[in-house]
A and B are shown apart, each in its own frame.
Chain A
Amino acid sequence: MITHSYNMITHSYKMTKRNTPQTSTKIRLMLYFSYAGIVCCFLGINACKKVLDQQPETFISTETAITNKKGAEAAVAGLYNEIQNGSYYGRNFQIISDVSSDIAQSVGTWDFYREMDTYVVTGGNTENGNFWYRAYRAINQANNVIAYVPQVSNATEADKNKYMGQAYFVRALAYFDLTRLYGGVPGVVGTLGVPIVIKPSEKIDESAFPPRSSLQDSYNQVESDLLKAVELLPESYGDNRSQAVKATARALLSRYYLYVNKPDQVISYATQVINDPKYVLSATFSAIFDGKLNAESIFELNFTASDQSGIRNWYFTSALSGRGDLAAHESYYKEATADPKDSRGKYFGYDATSKFYYPTKYQKAGNVDNIHVIRIAEMYLNRAEARVKTNDLTGALADLNRIHTRTGSDALSITGATELSAAILQERKLEFAEEGHRFFDLVRTGQALTKLVMVERRNGPPTSLTNAGRQVFPIPSFEMNSNENMVQNEAYK
């Protein structure tokens, strides 16, 4: 470059000498100026082309994501990754249920759980928003699998069915949880469901602004997805527990029919799972949480040291390297420890500095506890509850006692339907505390407004859920702001 210009300029001097200086110098110089400019630009443009060609190294394009078997399998793993996230079953969904009911209270700085604890949840509540977003991420992931797996090049039909069946299952679970939290329960609370999206989101057009469906349509979507999952999924593969198989979908159907009040269906699906030899009640309660992926488990989210669950961290005190933001309600602690034979009463720790009890169901150092989404014990209690409704009280008591006596407690002998229903609900409280059931069980059975009264708290007076409309949560404010078709729940307007 430089050498080139140098020659050029020597040349220019010679020229200058021969001509009348004033005019020709100017003309020459302008010529050379432009000439050199062109050279510069040429070099520059060449370099341009190169520097503007940049390709992502840590990401791949949407078009190449699900095109072959490996991609499809990775996208299926992505389904579980969404629901195991801390915003969902990693901790948040269980904690939402715990603090909104009579299991736990918020004692730390994270006042979003204190809002739920004291029934003043706002649309801007971060954890409420986190759950909403994460559930819809899972749905979008499922929609992608459902849309693109049929075109995958090197997978068999059986493989494709397996992938899509899992997507239908995860989508059903996400819609079920969204509908329970934001829509309500038919006949108890709520008329609106949640927006139903069944196509992958790839661009923002009118379809990106869906209105809320009716509550019934939301529940119908869950049912049809679960039935599709039962149809497509294989009976068995892998460990049968950390990913969905036919029985996983059946188990969720048994729970689903409790919400839409179809006891026969509850009994039918619960019985199918109970009769499935893959699933056996664990001999002791402790064995369920000490190990991983044992026979008790129907659907269990798998965590590792590089893929940690957060729930232990939130309950455990900082002395045990936890966050210590949540504590058990004193009343719940007393109920759980009332029967000294009940091994479930042993799952508590005590923080001497702050003077509260905290649950220790999730206790593995390094936060590697697996999360139990569905256990075989629930099938017994689902069936027991449905049997009471179909007047099979003996069968109901037998199912209840299967769970009650496993803990070391003496068998119950209850005769009245009302008493039996109450005992089953109480059994669910103690059995499934910190597993995301209690708040929804209370709402679903119409008892939230009578049971959640004067619940003692540590850093404040007792609280009560008095506004029936607050049995559902507010649609997050970001959703209200970004989607003009969205309607807020009545109690939060």
Chain B
Amino acid sequence: MRRFHVLLLCLALFLHVQSQEKIVSGNITVQDDGTPLPFVTIMVKGTKYGSTSDEKGSFKIKVPSREATLIIRHVGYKEHEVVVGDQTIINISLASASTTMNEIVVTGYGQQTRKTLTSAITSVSSKEIENIPSPSTDQLLQGRASGVQVNSNTGAPGGGVFVRIRGTSSINASSDPLYVVDGIPIQSNSLATLGLGGSVTSPIADINPADIQSIEILKDASATAIYGARAANGVVLITTKRGSDRKAKVTAGAYYGRQEPINLPDVVNGPTFERLINESATNNWVDLYGSVGTRNPQGVAFRLPYANPDTALNTNWGDPIFRTGALRNIDLSISGGSEKVHYLVSANNFLQEAMIKNSDFSRNTFRINLDFVPIDKLKVGTNLLYSRNNRTRGRSDDNISGALEGAFFFPANLPYYQPNGSYTKFGTFESPLAAIDHSDISMLTNRLLGTVYAEYEFRRGLRLKSSFSLDYSNFEESLYDDSFTNAGSTVNGSAQSIVGSNINWIQENVLSYQFKAGSHSFNALVGTSSQESKTSSTTATGTQFPSDDFRKISAAAVQTASSTATGYGIASLFSRITYDYQNKYLATINVRRDGSSRFGESNQWGTFPSAAVGWVLSEEDFLSKADFLSNLKIRVSYGITGNQSGISDFQSLGLWGGGTSTVNGSYGTIPGISPTQLANPALKWETTKQTDFGLDVSFFENRLNITADYYEKNTEDLLLAVPVPRSTGFENLVQNYGKMQNKGFELAISGDLFRSKSGLNWTANLNIASNKNKIVKLAAPFFVYNRDIYKYQEGGEMFSFYLHEQTGINPKTGAPVFTDVNGDGKFDPNVDRKIVGTANPKFFGGFTNTLNYKNLDLMFFFQYSYGNEQLNWNLFFLEHGGTRASNFSGSQLSRWQKEGDATMVPRLNAANYAADLRPSRFLEDGSYMRLKNISLGYTLPASLLRKISMSSARVYISGQNVLTFTDYTGLDPELTGTASNALTQGIEFFSMPQARTFMAGVTVSF
């Protein structure tokens, strides 16, 4: 180390001997706590003179004259300038970088200052997401990063989250981003296999949000291409906290909150139910025979279905299933270190009991992040996360046995219990009481996410890092429907148990070299990566239990079992060079070559290059006078990335399978086989070509920062399940066919709006993004989901709703009026359907305000989505006009009753609610704006804390989903009840909505 300094020094001496030169020395420390900062770059402004601080933060530098200015730069800290003058000892304390331009950005396999970045990366700091009671980190990104669309498909804790970075780029392959935690591309698909409805779970919930230091969203091709094959949908880099050169710091935090429903199911009461049924029957009779006084041809007189609606029972079926939910979180961490060892140990306990019974999530984690230097220049370390999650789940989302379905469908004139004490059963549906009390469904996940690495620094800037990582999840799902439930009643209890695991290992080697040649800075790396993933599961079922006290399948008289296994491998070589000239001209080139086991031998490998250039105009002389301008950079990137996720592991092969009759092949007890998949040996990577134009500009000493990006993503060779005529015996063949386009605009503005000597500070962040999705080429149009709710066609968009466009109600007859699409003069439900809207928002984003006054802090965060349509499919079933026996939605009351009534809800009769109608009146404007989070905190004064030997303490109260502004009439405009089908979005289908939460918490550190 020292030797190297001397070398540099000699060099400087030798080359630039001038009369005024002198040596300046000093120490560099952290402003906050005075700890020394090693390896800080010290430059003499406008020259090649430079030095670096040593391990103890000391430096020496030769300066050419007393007029010289030193520039001190260090990643994560504000740039500091000082004029040398007569000083020979200069001590500098660096303030941590709060302004965006100097912040350190984690990139794939590296890090960089934002100033020299040529790609579109949005950072979300731990500060923004801490103490927000959400089990899952993906949910926390909602509204925080421009261009990242996040919807909570369900309010069920730990449930699935819809995340799209710059739109949906694929139809049948996955459009979810790649999640990389501390360099490990983790398994992020829902592992839950129990069929409970359309819902899924989020494996990102395994990670403790309190462990997160920062989240980087890599958006353009230049940023993502280093993850080549899996980067087409963007990358979410999660970096966890680590220890540092300081004495041990203990941080403890806890919060507790309550959750309540925002909206309850809107259904009619018992008497109203009976009146509406009577009205419908009357109308049907009148339509057929002219009047209620007329007898039918068999001579039977009209009779009201309910003679006495006024005396009807009135049962609230929602009461038994809702509750006030609870939230509890405890975090504890110890971090610190010395010169040779950095450590962080943390533990977390999180519990959420949702506002619908039988829906809980609990998480226990511990983490060890350790870095140490066993011998000079060698760094060895480990990250280790163990996470244990327990979910209690209920059937919901498009499941006729769910408690929420029962609460909607059960007619309000039925009692909870029958005279003999048994649960009232109705049609297809499960009694909500039985669903809550007599079904036990749980999922336990144990996850180990660990890395060991060694990094050797050959010389300053030249490093080789090798790592081995493991992402291991083990899950146990169990279900028991006892003999009181529909599923269990005739088989004396029904149980299912699924045990499975996903093991994912990754070995990577990265050689990187950072060097300067004059004003030219280079950062180059080459690397290899190989990854293998294996998933297996075993399912057992049991029926005929001796009694409901036995719940394990070992006690069942009838038992069946099954097991499956699958796997894939990815091998990669990658390289990147970043270059900058005086922080003024910037360039990045990436190339990655990936092989995937999912493709046939001839198409296994794909090459994914990208390039980007940036120009920092504010460093140019011609802008040096523009004092108001602190930074101005334009950047352009282009690159090709790939996608292979979401298709099955053996998609290119022609396959036959066996199994029970419900799966494949077998007949009774005779084993059987049948074809399951057509071969496509030519199958290859789906590729996305993305162009990005970006602008970063900062004004008034970085007090106002604006980042704007325009992008165009063209995906081709889609991994498309091309529908084939089913007369072949197959539904589709996955082919590289079709094109998709996403283009959009992103804008993020942040500013220190107000700073005053009195101590009042106000900062605000606003982000807004729009994305336009277009299906450019498709083999043939196709429909998605039951009743063909979605239609995919060339020129259309993802998630386009295909319905009968209802334009109004005939004011004379009360019959719905639909658009005659083919213009043949009559409305025919078979052909007169059209695309009437999409679930894609026109724009979306978030708005955060933080105010500080002395020890008080107030933060409020709005999140919004505009222009998205949301299908209220609950109403399709409940606004049935008497054609079903189930309860009515409250909306049914605004039906047409007499001439002149202005409404969209037709007169009650069979024809107006015919079985083949899919009226567009259920498609509503899903735009909303939410006060997603508001918190008020108080930091205890330092003087007080010293007395009790604490270093900091803050107490706070906060609220989640406090206000929602929307015209949508359902429970929640974000819901998707069919999330297990990735081609559906924006459809409320008996899903648990999000709750309103109020909580209080405290964070202390010693």
Q: Report A's interface with B, CB cutoff 8 A.
A: 1-2, 5-6, 8-9, 12-13, 21-22, 26, 29, 32-33, 36-37, 40-41, 43-45, 47-54, 56-63, 65, 71, 73-82, 84-85, 106-112, 114-115, 117-118, 120-124, 126, 129, 132-133, 136-137, 139-141, 143-144, 194-195, 197, 201-204, 208-210, 242, 302-308, 317-325, 353-354, 365-366, 454, 458-462, 474, 476-479, 481-483, 486, 492-493
Contact = CB atoms under 8 A, between A and B. Distances in A.
A84 B667 contact: yes
Interface residues of B, number: 121
Contacts of A56: 566, 649-650, 653, 655
A37 B491 contact: no
10 contacts: A40-B527, A51-B530, A51-B569, A59-B676, A74-B665, A107-B427, A109-B400, A126-B786, A136-B729, A481-B780
Given A21-B7, A43-B528, 17 more contacts: A2-B454, A5-B456, A29-B458, A32-B462, A36-B511, A44-B573, A45-B571, A53-B597, A54-B567, A63-B654, A81-B672, A110-B428, A121-B916, A126-B787, A307-B661, A320-B490, A483-B727
A33 B526 CA distance: 9
Contacts of A76: 672
Given A59-B676, A320-B490, A195 B885 contact: no
Contact of B656 (A59, A84, A353, A459): A59
Contact of A41 (B287, B573, B674, B724): B573
Given A78-B674, A81-B674, A82-B674, A365 B490 contact: yes
Contacts of A132: 726
Interface of B: 7, 11, 284-285, 287-288, 297, 377-378, 400, 409, 414, 424-430, 454, 456, 458-459, 462, 464, 466, 486-491, 507, 509, 511, 513, 515, 517, 524, 526-532, 543, 558, 560, 564-573, 595-597, 604, 649-650, 653-658, 660-662, 664-679, 723-731, 733, 780-783, 786-788, 829-831, 877, 882-886, 909-910, 914-916
Nearest to A8: B458
Given A5-B464, A47-B571, A197-B727, A58 B565 contact: yes
A315 B655 CA distance: 36
Given A60-B656, A115-B915, A201-B730, A324 B509 contact: no
A126 B429 CA distance: 21
Given A71-B673, A304-B669, A108 B427 contact: yes
Contacts of A321: 486-491
A122 B543 CA distance: 39
Given A52-B604, A60-B656, A120-B914, A77 B530 contact: no
Contacts of B567: 54, 57
A50 B830 CA distance: 53
A140 B728 contact: yes
Contacts of A133: 726, 731
A316 to B, nearest CB: 9
Contact of B661 (A49, A50, A85, A492): A85
A57 B537 CA distance: 12
A2 B728 CA distance: 56
A75 B674 contact: yes
Contact of A33 (B513, B788, B831): B513
B690 to A, nearest CB: 26
Contacts of B565: 57-58
Contact of B425 (A61, A306, A318): A318
Nearest to B662: A307
Given A325-B428, A354-B426, A52 B528 contact: no
B679 to A, nearest CB: 6
Contacts of B649: 54, 56
List the 4 closest pairs (A to B, CB-CB), nearest first.
A44-B528, A140-B729, A51-B569, A48-B571
Given A9-B456, A44-B571, A318-B429, A77 B725 contact: no
A322 B677 CA distance: 33
Nearest to A142: B729
Contacts of B731: 133, 478
A362 to B, nearest CB: 13
Contacts of B466: 1-2
Contacts of B11: 21-22
A152 to B, nearest CB: 14
Contact of B597 (A52, A115, A194, A354): A52
Interface centre among A53, A141, A194 (most CB of B within 10 A): A141
B511 A37 contact: yes
A67 B573 CA distance: 41
Contacts, number: 364
B581 to A, nearest CB: 18
A359 to B, nearest CB: 16
Contacts of A21: 7, 11
A71 B678 CA distance: 19
Contacts of A492: 830
B673 A51 contact: no
Contact of A483 (B530, B725, B884): B725
Nearest to B483: A321
Contacts of B530: 44, 47-48, 50-51
B163 to A, nearest CB: 27
B539 to A, nearest CB: 12
Given A59-B657, A353-B426, A77 B400 contact: no
A45 B573 CA distance: 8
Contacts of B566: 56-58
Given A136-B728, A304-B669, A115 B916 contact: yes
Nearest to A10: B458
Contacts of A307: 660-662, 666-669
B673 A75 contact: yes
A340 B876 CA distance: 43
A26 to B, nearest CB: 8
A208 B657 contact: no
Nearest to A108: B428
Contacts of A477: 783, 788
Contact of B914 (A40, A61, A118, A462): A118
Interface centre among A37, A58, A77, A308 (most CB of B within 10 A): A58
Nearest to A493: B831
B679 A202 contact: yes
A33 B882 contact: no
Given A2-B454, A307-B668, A324-B427, A123 B654 contact: no
A55 to B, nearest CB: 8
Given A109-B886, A321-B487, A321-B489, A53 B569 contact: yes
A53 B11 CA distance: 54
B728 A29 contact: no
Contacts of A203: 678-679
A461 B290 CA distance: 13
Contacts of A47: 507, 528, 530, 571
B668 A201 contact: no
A242 B458 contact: no
A482 B672 contact: no
Contacts of B459: 9, 12-13, 29
Interface centre among A13, A47, A106, A323 (most CB of B within 10 A): A47
B660 A306 contact: yes
Contacts of B509: 1, 40, 43-44
A140 B725 contact: no
B910 A460 contact: yes
A136 B724 CA distance: 12
A33 B597 CA distance: 30
Contacts of B728: 136, 140, 197, 201, 204, 208
A366 B665 contact: no
Contacts of A26: 515, 517
A73 B673 CA distance: 9
B570 A51 contact: yes
Contacts of B830: 122-123, 474, 492
Contacts of A115: 915-916
A201 B409 CA distance: 44
